[in-house]
Amino acid sequence: MTDTHTMTQTIAPEFLVRAKTLLGPVGFIDTPADMENYLSDWRGRGNGEAPFIARPESVVQVSEFMALCAEYGVAVTPQGGNTGLVLGGLPHGEVLLSTKRLRAVRNIDPLNDSVTVEAGIILAELQEIVAKENRLFPLSLGAEGQAQIGGLISTNAGGVAVLKYGMMRDLVLGLEVVMPDGRIWNGLTGLRKDNTAYDLKQLFIGAEGTLGVITAATLKMMPRPAVKMVSWLCVESPAKAVELLALAKAETGGAVSSFELMPRIGVDFVLEQMPDTRDPHPDAKSPWYVLMEISFPREEGARDVLEGLLEKAMESEIVTDGVLAESETQAFEIWKIRETLPLAEKAFGKAVKHDVSVPVSSLPAFIEQANARVYAIVPNANIISFGHVGDGNMHYNVAPPEGVSDDEFYKAYGAELTKAVHDLVCDMNGSISAEHGIGTMKRDELAERVSDVEMDMLKAVKRALDPENRMNPNRVISI
Amino acid sequence: MTDTHTMTQTIAPEFLVRAKTLLGPVGFIDTPADMENYLSDWRGRGNGEAPFIARPESVVQVSEFMALCAEYGVAVTPQGGNTGLVLGGLPHGEVLLSTKRLRAVRNIDPLNDSVTVEAGIILAELQEIVAKENRLFPLSLGAEGQAQIGGLISTNAGGVAVLKYGMMRDLVLGLEVVMPDGRIWNGLTGLRKDNTAYDLKQLFIGAEGTLGVITAATLKMMPRPAVKMVSWLCVESPAKAVELLALAKAETGGAVSSFELMPRIGVDFVLEQMPDTRDPHPDAKSPWYVLMEISFPREEGARDVLEGLLEKAMESEIVTDGVLAESETQAFEIWKIRETLPLAEKAFGKAVKHDVSVPVSSLPAFIEQANARVYAIVPNANIISFGHVGDGNMHYNVAPPEGVSDDEFYKAYGAELTKAVHDLVCDMNGSISAEHGIGTMKRDELAERVSDVEMDMLKAVKRALDPENRMNPNRVISI
């Protein structure tokens, strides 16, 4: 891992005293045991360092605390549920500001299809709150039991329903942000249309805490689909998967809500490693599988549509075989294969991972050419490329050959493999971070790969909103 | 109108010579007759002034021209189809840069559902280009035969399909922008997911040309709905309309593509003023009408869904009466009522206009309270409030009482009426410019109404990207 970030800041004793008084005993944590959860990376890739953890209980307290930090020139790293993947929320000497105590549900407005919550609400909680109103909050991802709304917005989270509902950015109507100087920007609006000057909220979405602290958000609620139908389909190649996607979109009028591709090797990993999993279609061994979920607004006729689509796909030899989940249990079992794949892969050995995207149409060529480049470096590598084909987003991971330790593999080939894969991604106008963000892990690579004019703009934006460089400094970009 | 903007800039003769050479005879226009179309407001609200019109033929030429302007410190006003409503694209001494010759269709990628076009492509043309691929470009508005893509992005255009498909912002995947110093930022990406640092394109969308010149864009294509069903429904009040909207969204799973409210007085205006219009349902006189369009992905069962919905709406007394368009012609006739309403209203006399939004749930209270405030000022005013209820966006217009000239009315009551309406909008957390933008017309009012912290942020962004204040200066904000 390339976390080359270091930071030292001198914390004035007087600042500590004032911070402790302001935050109170529950809000000020500085014993190593209590700090550990906040300072360790869940993937075990190192620990952060902080003089203390600030856990303000309200937005006003966040504001007062940030003003205090401004007074003493103290840098701050905001943190939500600490489920990030690029080490963006681990402090390196900054004060860690946890949003976990910002827990108010401020407003639910069913007729406006909007809900306003504070940053510390957990995604799974929000899904439940919204379900009680007979609405859907569509964001869904592995860490949803721990990830907080503030962090999910700061990282513009993706997940498994982006194809139909978009990224977190597409679900945000308004934000409340505490600026580096402590002032509160009230950009909480439930409006669908507002063309009054620059859309400032967009800057904070995906900024990974480098411009301000998101304290609350107004989010969209969606109609709940009447029925979701999950199928597990065999395709000969990624190219066939992309053809299937186009067919499915056309036949259902855009109702495809998830479209995930997995190679046989990935399915085998899961079946070997994960308890209580079973092959959804043991009779058909295929090099690739598609998990397709379609969300229908009405139950009537839905099954006919899906069956018609699959018939067409079989006739035109896009799909070779497949099963349609006949029950919730079976749908759950199919989803389990996809959702435990990252964990199964982890058990097999640490892979050299890439979270990349290309235009959907380029995806088959990307996989083919990336494989060729990888095999040219490590002929017998285990390539597991899987993910959100519907969004052009693949998790393209390269595991060591059998018998090679992952550490050794990483040390010997990690940098070379990543350069080869990312070079190809950039040649194809893709992204080296489709959904995980930049953090510290990809900061230096980003700086190398973006154009001068783009880097100048990024720095100008950072300086404009955080002129003292106290908000999560050296994440995303260094100025 | 409140266009208090003035600007003088000294144009060096040498700059003129160099600009003329660079742009060539077709690209450099300075005779009054040829300049007239570019310099007059289509609503007849005054004329702009410019030393000449620059019509660069390519992005490279835009870049060279902007670099030349930078060298001589010359300010520039970009203009698309000149169909704006807030005088944002009329120059006041700046050089006018027209994007009309940037006409290339750079790429169509059906498997990625994306299309890349240059800024001068007209919306109606784009709709056709995309239709040939059996896809939909959903943006649709009155000026679509003239408005250009670059301008539509710069103003984050709305229109009649926002409810289902979003504003222009939601349809943009990537941008190419020439910066004030002439450098080209290539942010053209067809990616659905890209979490590499701040999403810079968001700044240019809706910036009204104040940060750079948009020269090309990659836009989303959508599946074409199999069938659109239009109905014309009688409701007793705006509150019933909002109830109907919630019911329709739930029953169709979010398939409502347009939901427009009109008062009887507006319908009467149209029937009186516009040729070839007829009352869609002459037997039922109602205080309010809803035009509801539902876009179904499949033909089968669509009519049943709509009829089921309408039955429920009648049973629960949300809707009192209505007709369902039985043919394309009938659908066209119903839409014509809505689309010609602004023109009919114009024929009746210039109204004091407001393009406002509030949360959908607040819309009935807004109309009621706004009416009360207006009648308190002008007891017999003719209020025509109509628009995109589904987006919480009303065009709330106040026409003079019978026998009063519009100029007289405007002079006597214009400022007072607007203040009363906008005060209420702000009390309700609404927007004083839902879709038309700020331009010069609402600039000073915006400055008065936004918080200090927000104005500081807006100015910081402007200074960050246009430090010399040469991009459409004094539009949106003054720095």
> Do residues A248 and A292 touch, judged by C-beta distance below 8 A?
yes
Considering just the CA atoms, what is the radius of gyration of chain B in Å? 23
Inter-chain touch A202–B207, beta carbons under 8 Å:
no
**Packed helices B363-377 and B406-427: angle between N→C axes, nearest 10 degrees:** 140
C-alpha A36/C-alpha B463 separation (Å) is: 42
How many Å lie between the alpha carbon of B41 and the closest alpha carbon of chain A? 20
CATH entry, A349-441, from 3.40.50.1360, 3.30.70.2740, 2.60.40.1120, 3.40.50.720: 3.30.70.2740
Q: How would you list the strands of the sheet with B28-29, edge to edge?
A: B28-29, B53-54, B95-98, B76-79
pLDDT of residue B3: 45
Nearest beta carbon to residue A391 from set B192, B301, B433: B192
Report yes or no: B182 at the A interface, CB cutoff 8 Å.
Answer: no
B192-230 confidence digits (pLDDT tens): 999 999 999 999 999 999 999 999 999 999 999 889 999
Chain Cα centroid distance, residue A181: 28
pLDDT of residue A7: 65
pLDDT surpassing 60 at residue B5: no
Q: Sign (positive/negative) of CA torsion A98, A100, A105, A109?
A: positive
pLDDT surpassing 80 at residue B468: yes
What mean pLDDT is predicted for residues B392-410? Answer: 92
B113-130 confidence digits (pLDDT tens): 999 999 999 999 999 999
- A–B: how many Cβ contacts below 8 A? 286
Tell me which CATH code domain B349-436 carries.
3.30.70.2740
CATH entry, B225-345, from 3.30.450.60, 3.30.565.10, 3.30.70.2190, 1.20.1740.10: 3.30.70.2190
Q: Which of residues 2-41 of A touch B (CB under 8 A)?
A: none
Report yes or no: A299 at the B interface, CB cutoff 8 Å.
Answer: no
pLDDT of residue A355: 95
Domain A225-341 has CATH 2.60.40.1080: no
Report yes or no: B476 at the A interface, CB cutoff 8 Å.
Answer: yes
Q: Fold identical between B13-98 and B225-345?
A: no
Picking from B71, B260, B77, B252, the residue whose alpha carbon sits closest to that of residue B154 is B77
Inter-chain touch B193–A463, beta carbons under 8 Å:
no
Three-state secondary structure call for residue A163: helix
C-alpha B437/C-alpha B168 separation (Å) is: 13
- Please report, rounded to a whole number, the percentage of residues in chain B having pLDDT higher than 90: 86
Q: B434 to chain A: which residues are within 8 Å by CB?
A: 191, 193-195
Give the pair of three-digit tokens for residue A150.
């503030």
Q: For an interface test with A, which of B173, B176, B179, B198 has the most A Cβ atoms less than 10 Å from its Cβ?
A: B198
CA torsion, ordered A303, A309, A312, A313, to nearest 10 deg:
-120
Q: A296 to chain B: which residues are within 8 Å by CB?
A: 253
Give ∠ CA B285-B286-B290 in degrees, rounded to 5: 120
Residue of B nearest to A204 (CA): B198
B98-113 confidence digits (pLDDT tens): 999 999 999 999 999 9
Three-state secondary structure call for residue B414: helix
Inter-chain touch A206–B225, beta carbons under 8 Å:
no
Chain Cα centroid distance, residue A104: 24
Report yes or no: A303 at the B interface, CB cutoff 8 Å.
Answer: no
**Packed helices A363-377 and A238-252: angle between N→C axes, nearest 10 degrees:** 160
Instruction: Write phi, then psi, for B72 (nearest 5 degrees).
Output: -100, 5
DSSP B169: G
From first to last of its 479 residues, chain A has per-residue pLDDT tens of: 344 455 668 899 999 999 999 999 999 999 999 999 999 988 777 789 999 999 999 999 999 999 999 999 999 999 999 999 888 999 999 999 999 999 999 999 999 999 999 999 999 999 999 999 999 999 999 899 999 999 999 999 999 899 999 999 999 999 999 999 999 999 999 999 999 999 999 999 999 999 999 999 999 999 998 899 999 999 999 999 999 999 999 888 888 999 999 999 999 999 999 999 999 999 888 999 999 999 988 888 889 999 999 999 999 999 999 999 999 999 999 999 998 998 887 776 789 999 999 999 999 999 999 999 999 999 999 999 999 999 999 999 999 998 899 899 999 999 999 999 999 999 999 999 999 999 999 999 999 999 999 999 999 999 999 999 999 999 999 99
Please report, for chain A, the start and end positions of each structural domain, with discontinuous segments joined by +. Answer: 13-98, 105-223, 225-341, 349-441
Report yes or no: A453 at the B interface, CB cutoff 8 Å.
Answer: yes
Q: How confident is the model at residue B362 (pLDDT cuts 50, 70, 90)?
A: very high
Alpha helix stretches (DSSP H) within A28-76: 32-39, 59-72
ipTM of the complex: 0.95
DSSP3 helix / strand / coil % (chain A, rounded to 5): 40, 20, 40
Q: A111 to chain B: which residues are within 8 Å by CB?
A: 242-243, 245-246, 359-361
B334-360 confidence digits (pLDDT tens): 999 998 998 887 776 788 999 999 999
> Do residues B208 and A374 touch, judged by C-beta distance below 8 A?
no
B269-326 confidence digits (pLDDT tens): 999 999 999 999 998 889 999 999 999 888 888 899 999 999 999 999 999 999 999 9
Nearest beta carbon to residue B361 from set A111, A155, A388: A111
Token pair 């092959």 is found at A279
Inter-chain touch B189–A476, beta carbons under 8 Å:
no
Report yes or no: B222 at the A interface, CB cutoff 8 Å.
Answer: yes
**Residue A403 neighbours by CB distance under 10 Å:** 6
Q: B297 to chain A: which residues are within 8 Å by CB?
A: 252-255
What mean pLDDT is predicted for residues B375-399? Answer: 94
Q: Which of residues 429-448 of B touch A (CB under 8 A)?
A: 429-438, 442, 446
Q: What are the residues facing A399 on neighbouring strands? A: A382
Report yes or no: A131 at the B interface, CB cutoff 8 Å.
Answer: no
E strand spans, B119-225 = 135-136, 172-178, 184-187, 213-220, 222-223
Nearest beta carbon to residue A167 from set B187, B193, B433: B193
C-alpha A426/C-alpha A460 separation (Å) is: 24
pLDDT of residue A352: 94
Give the pair of three-digit tokens for residue B96.
């006018």
Q: Which of residues 326-365 of A touch B (CB under 8 A)?
A: 357-362
B56-111 confidence digits (pLDDT tens): 999 999 999 999 999 999 999 999 999 998 889 999 999 999 999 999 999 999 99
End-to-end Cα distance, chain B: 22
Q: State which fold the A105-223 domain adopts.
A: 3.30.465
Identity of the residue numbered A119 = A
Tell me which CATH code domain B13-98 carries.
3.30.43.10
Give ∠ CA B283-B286-B289 in degrees, rounded to 5: 105
